[in-house]
Structure 1
Amino acid sequence: MTNEERSLTAAVRGLARGCALGELVDLWQPVTWLALDERIRSGTDHGIERPDPRRLAASRRPAAPPGLPDGPAPAEAELALALCDADGHLREAALAHAARLPAVLPLVAVRTTDWVPAVRARAWEVLSAALPAADERTLAATVPVILRLRDRKRGGMAAGMLQELLRAAPPASLTALLRNPDRRTRRIALGLAVERGLLSPAELAHLAAHDEDVAVRSRAADAALAAGVPDETLPLLLGARSGAVRSAGVTALRGAGRAAEAEPYLFDRSGLVRACARWVLRQDGRDPLPLYRAACADPATVPDRAPLGLAECGDRKTDAAVLWELTGHDRAAVRACAVMGLRVLEVADIARLLPLLDDPAPGVVREAARALLPWADRLPEAELLRRAGADRPAHVRKRVRRLLDALGSTAYEETARQLVEDAEPGPVPVPRARVRRWFRWNRPLRPGR
């Protein structure tokens, strides 16, 4: 039994003991509600007492209008179990009580895709009446479930109703969904908030700079730039962690008449940002290539990614010599970017690249191996095997074994044997299938075979 299955079993048993839903499951994850419904209906949790149908009998009238039945309402735990019960009559009866307990509204949403038509109809009535009046907490738990149900056969109706509801929802309720853990919820909330003009340019830029979802960041950045207030938006966009958002900010510098401010982004860690910075400068009448060459000319002040930027817009004949010189720089980041630049320029000097596999910095060795990979069939096996030994650092063995694998010779089988004898095999990812193959080829035959 997996950890997820154990958690679901514990949640079902907790409901049977009368515990509240918030004490048992993560209310903000839609998959939790769907999995809980499936687990209860499957009936795999033996020993769980089912809800008493007599307590819900007052609402077992399929044609009854929506509303609350007479008599005391069941507790939250009992109602949750009834809404997910395998008996369709019990699920339908439970729905009449659900409007009294907003905590179970996500399960009502699940019932709108029920296979029993009477249950679907009753769930739709309850959901369409309760959702418009729901508070922010209830919406935060229910909206992600409805959006996830769009993938089901009968889930489109509730999703369409939700779209119209959110278009007319109070601004505070809609913008609160922008903090929801579910990315689908944040996406639809942002789209409607932009459509309704509920967010300022600074708020949009803040979302673009800090949200974890790529689609949200992109939409928020576009909306922030469309607002046309560079003094509020550009600093946030240019300082974002996402390269795509920073690139949008760099591109917007030209429209704001501030193209000169793109120069520092020639050395950004993101290739997209560097390309946008070069475009902005060219549109302003400045060639970025001399700027890269000047930055790489002084080893004492060269930015880390200047060698890579130089390769991206330079040429092999003129600039390769500078990159080779920077492979011996004191800073590992500069050395790694210099090797990356040589790969971009397609420099294939195997004799000079091989010694870089001995660099103490893992990043430099990684880039050297990438540069050598297209020429793996020309690499000397003896040199690679010497670096694949247990006496070499783990980051060197890791990259060299990948080169041996690409070499496609018996040399890789030798490294598979070494892996078994290696005192530190963990950081060296040799494919298990390769190791098993080596043992099949080299194991001694059993007696009689």
Structure 2
Amino acid sequence: MSASANDSPERDYLPQLPAVEWVRAGAGGADRSVGPAEFSAVLLTVARDAEPGLRAAVVDALGSAEARWWLAVDDALRERWWSAPRWSRSLAAELADGEVEVLRLVVAGCHRDGRIREAAVVHLAEHAHPAALAVLALRTADWVPEVRQRARAAVDGWLRSSRGSLTQLTEMAFALRGRGQGAWLAERVEGVLRDLPLDGLEPLLTARDRRTRRAAYRAAMTGGLLSVRRLITAAMTDDDLPIRSLCARGAVQAATGPAQLRGLLVSRTALVRAEALQAVTAVGDLGAAEAALPDRHPLVRAIAQDRLRGSGADPAGSYRLLARREPPAPGVLAGLGETGGVEDAGLVRRWLAHPRARGRVEAVRALRRLGVTRSADLVPLLGDESGAVTRQVVAVLRHDLGGLDPEMLEALLRPGNAAHVRFAGYRLLTSGNAWQRLATNLRLIDDPDDRLRAGARADISTWLNRQAATTYHGPSRDRAAQLDKLIAHARPILGEDKIRLLRFHAGLHHQEAL
């Protein structure tokens, strides 16, 4: 550790210092065009050669970087240190002989040599800078036991002294949890959070990292620290689904009456609406159940339907009344399909022409649930302007291919049609007879549409590898003649091996032999 850099004839191979703006933008991971490997090389140069102002700016930017950026930079630095053997020796001497500034301690803490990392950890423990804490967190999961133990002792001391916000340490802890030695820090932090008062948790409740916010909300709710209003606000506004659901359940448990929960009934999150609806209707508020019948999510509709049935009401009757309105909400058609009977087919079928694509989708689904689908009603929707509608129609018609006109399906494949219409025709044509499937794929093998072309080539390979050997019936004479021409056309694309297999399985090898 005390060897001088001058004793080594080795050279460092580090890049030149770039523009100050580039370094500052890349330091915290804000500039996504700067990768960890590129940045780590520059970081070593900055730590070694830059003027003090730039070094201070870079270490401050690192202090606010996201945990995932730190993990990537740590890995990249460990590899990059191989290009700086002279500075490695010089830095080792600095660590052994005296005080080292924070940025140099940070890069030393990510060194490939465990002895240098351990020495850096000793010095980092004396600093309160967020970048120093981030590296200490990384080293608590270090693969070298001595480094790991020193880092954990330093972090434990930091936690006991409560020197600052836990936000960054918590973010790092959950980012490291999946690593071999990473569970220790996450468990330690979670234990600390459980004992924090609300003012200590506040910075974590608004942290950028979702896992940090989740842990903070769990700790606050376990301690009963959040008001019903605070829980409802989080359930309505947080951008993380697990947090919204967690806070909705907490609000339901903490509420003193259903009136406090009515705001949750209009949440954009189905799980939140479901939690609120269960609580509100549990005290007999059937009006809320009636209002939730047309909900767009099946879970919420199911709760509303169950509550109405429990009171002796008939949800299907309510859906029938709603379905006669102009036009009904898509959730009404979905609900009628879930609760109605065959006698409702005419009412649902009328809304295959619903002005909203979602309404047409739900009408098709409802007919399918009621078991009253008719090909004649659905075939016109294969040309619908919405891909969601055509996908739903295809899902139904694939079970009734016998009643479909092959010429009509082939017309869907015409190049002038919309991409989703062509794909609907492709899926139906390749769902039935093996030889029709093969012919369709061969026709599309050089199609301008990337999706159809790739799908056709992949399906030919799938058929050859998995199904061709068990296709015992051969093609008709007309189909065989068609396949002969299509296979010949595909020769430059598929290659001789696949062409030979296709001709063999189609029974065309006899003609080739003649």
TM-score range, shorter chain: 0.7 to 0.9
| Counterpart-to-counterpart distance in 1, 2:448 and 2:434 | 24
Structure 1 residues 416 and 179 mapped into 2: Cα distance closer, same or farther (>3 Å)? farther
SS in 2 for 1:396: helix
Tell me the residue number matched to 1:123.
151
**TM-fit CA distance, 1:311:** 0.7
- CA offset at residue 127 of structure 1? 0.6
Gaps of 5+ in 1: 59-70
Alpha-carbon contact 1:209-1:217 (below 8 Å) kept: yes
1:122-141 aligned at under 5 Å gives the runs: 122-132=150-160, 133-136=162-165, 139-141=166-168
* Cα deviation, residue 272, structure 1: 0.9
**Kindly tell me: are residues 399 and 109 of structure 1, through their superposed partners in 2, closer, same or farther at Cα, counting changes over 3 Å?**
same
Match among 48, 65, 70 for residue 27 of structure 1: 65
CA contact (8 A) 2:444 2:456 kept: no
Deviation for aligned residue 1:98: 1.2
Q: Counterparts of 1:31 and 1:124 in 2: how far apart (Å)?
A: 20
- Once the two structures are superposed, the pairs formed by residues 294-373 of structure 1 within 5 Å of their partners are 294-298=321-325, 300-316=326-342, 318-373=343-398
Q: 1:80 aligns with which of 98, 106, 109?
A: 106
Question: What is the CA deviation profile of residues 51-100 of structure 1, one whole-angstrom value per residue up to 9, with x for unaligned ones?
Answer: 61122115xxxxxxxxxxxx53x233211111111111111111122131
Q: Answer yes or no: is the 8 Å Cα contact 1:187–1:215 preserved in 2.
A: yes
1:30-429 correspondence runs (5 A): 30-43=67-80, 46-47=83-84, 49-50=87-88, 52-57=91-96, 71-72=98-99, 74-99=100-125, 100=127, 101-132=129-160, 133-136=162-165, 139-230=166-257, 233-298=260-325, 300-316=326-342, 318-376=343-401, 379-407=404-432, 409-417=434-442, 419=444, 422-425=447-450
Q: Secondary structure at the match of 1:52?
A: helix
Tell me, yes or no, if the aligned pair for 1:210 and 1:241 is still in contact at 8 Å: no
1:106 maps to amino acid:
A
SS in 2 for 1:114: coil
Aligned length: 427
Tell me by how many angstroms 1:403 deviates.
2.3
Distance 1:118 1:272, change over 3 A: same
Code of the aligned partner of 2:65: L
**Helix, strand or coil for the counterpart of 2:313?**
coil
* CA distance in 2: counterparts of 1:419 and 1:268, whole angstroms: 42
Q: C-alpha deviations, 1:296-332, integer Å up to 9, x for none? A: 124x24223211110100112x111211122134444
State which structure, 1 or 2, has the greater radius of gyration over its C-alpha atoms. 2
Cα–Cα, structure 1 residues 377 and 428, in superposed 2: closer, same or farther, change >3 Å? farther
Question: 124-133 or 204-213: which moved more?
Answer: 204-213
**Greater shift after overlay, 143-152 or 336-345?**
143-152
Distance 2:487 2:105 in 1: 58
Q: State the distance in 2 between where 1:117 and 1:365 align.
A: 60
Task: Specify the alignment match of 1:442 in structure 2.
Answer: 490
Q: What's the CA shift for 1:44?
A: 6.7
8 Å contact kept, 1:112–1:158: yes
TM-score by length of 1: 0.85
Distance 1:424 1:53 in 2: 60
Q: Is the 8 A contact 1:267 1:304 kept in 2?
A: yes
1:185 to partner: Cα distance? 2.0
Distance in 1 between the 2:364 and 2:279 partners?
32
Q: 1:441 to 1:174 in 2, by over 3 A?
A: farther
Greater RCO (CA < 8 Å, at least 6 residues apart) = 1
| Percent of aligned pairs sharing the same letter | 32
SS at match of 1:406: coil
The answer as to whether partners of 1:401 and 1:430 remain within 8 angstroms in 2 is no
Deviation larger for 367-376 or 17-26: 17-26
Task: Describe the SS at the equivalent of 1:169.
Answer: coil
Query: Residue deviations 1:336-387, cap 9 Å, x none?
Result: 2211111222334223322221223333222211222333466443321111
In structure 2, relative to structure 1, the CA distance for the partners of 1:215 and 1:330 (3 Å cut) is closer
Mapped partners of 1:127, 1:6: distance in 2: 30
Check the 8 A contact 2:381/2:390 in 1, yes or no.
yes
Separation in structure 2 between the aligned mates of residue 351 and residue 301 of structure 1, nearest angstrom: 23
How big is each residue's C-alpha offset from its partner over 1:154-199, in whole Å with a ceiling of 9 and x where there is no partner? 3333233212211223422323222233332222211111011121
Matched residues in 2 for 1:243 and 1:439: separation? 51
Report the counterpart of residue 61 of structure 1 in structure 2: none
Q: Distance in 2 between matches of 1:237 and 1:386?
A: 49
Cα pair distance change 1:441/1:424, threshold 3 Å: closer
In 2, Cα distance between the equivalents of 1:187 and 1:159?
13
Structure 2, unmatched stretches of 5+, are 1-30, 48-54, 463-485, 501-514
TM-score relative to the length of structure 2: 0.75
Query: 2:433 and 2:228 mapped to 1: Cα distance?
Result: 56
Match of 1:67 in 2: none
Partner Cα separation in structure 2 for residue 439 and residue 169 of structure 1: 72
Contact kept in structure 2, 1:381 and 1:411, CA below 8 Å:
no
- Secondary structure of the equivalent of 1:152? coil
